[in-house]
């Protein structure tokens, strides 16, 4: 979304065109699909290398493929609805933005630029992978 969808403090304006919101959500869902696809590739390589064995691993890998396909289908649907929506239709993003717990996702969904001071109000979870036993 564009900067015009924010007030001076970087908060979402009360009313944003529905097609723009739907297109933004479509892009976000497609990013999730891409991430799931990367995980699918990684897990597939591990299966081929023998790190996982048995038919259960292959079944789970197929589930990940279905997840990727479903996410892409939802993204396509949202983009299609966005194309068929009137720019005169408006929606208030304020409450929806407050419900999103991950700051970077919220920022992308409401069109806030990374590094805006106002994005610091929203917090997300942090995973410290250095403390995992699998990493050196």
Q: What percentage of the chain exceeds 70 in pLDDT?
A: 68
**pLDDT digit string (tens) for 94-118?**
889 999 999 999 999 998 876 655 5
The domain spans of the chain are 3-131
Strand partners, 16: 91
Reported as a pLDDT band with limits 50, 70 and 90, residue 8 is very low
> Residue 92: is its pLDDT beyond 60?
yes
Judged on CB neighbours under 10 Å (0-12, 13-18, 19+), 90 is middle
Q: What pTM value is reported for the model? A: 0.69
> Residue 25: is its pLDDT beyond 90?
yes
What own/partner pairs with CB < 8 Å and gap ≥ 24 does 52-59 have?
A: none
For residue 123, what pLDDT is reported? 47
> Residue 121: is its pLDDT beyond 50?
no
Mean pLDDT estimate for the chain: 79
């Amino acid at each position: 979304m564009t900067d015009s969808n924010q007030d001076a403090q970087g908060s979402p304006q009360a009313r944003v065109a529905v097609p723009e919101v739907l297109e933004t959500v479509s892009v976000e869902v497609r990013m999730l699909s891409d991430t799931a696809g990367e995980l699918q590739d990684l897990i597939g390589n591990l299966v081929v290398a023998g790190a996982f064995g048995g038919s259960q691993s292959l079944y789970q890998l197929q589930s990940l493929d279905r997840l990727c396909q479903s996410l892409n289908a939802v993204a396509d649907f949202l983009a299609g609805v966005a194309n068929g929506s009137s720019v005169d239709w408006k929606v208030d993003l304020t409450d929806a933005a407050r419900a999103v717990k991950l700051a970077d996702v919220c920022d992308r969904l409401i069109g806030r630029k990374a590094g805006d001071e106002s994005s610091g109000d929203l917090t997300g979870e942090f995973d410290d992978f250095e403390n995992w036993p699998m990493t050196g």
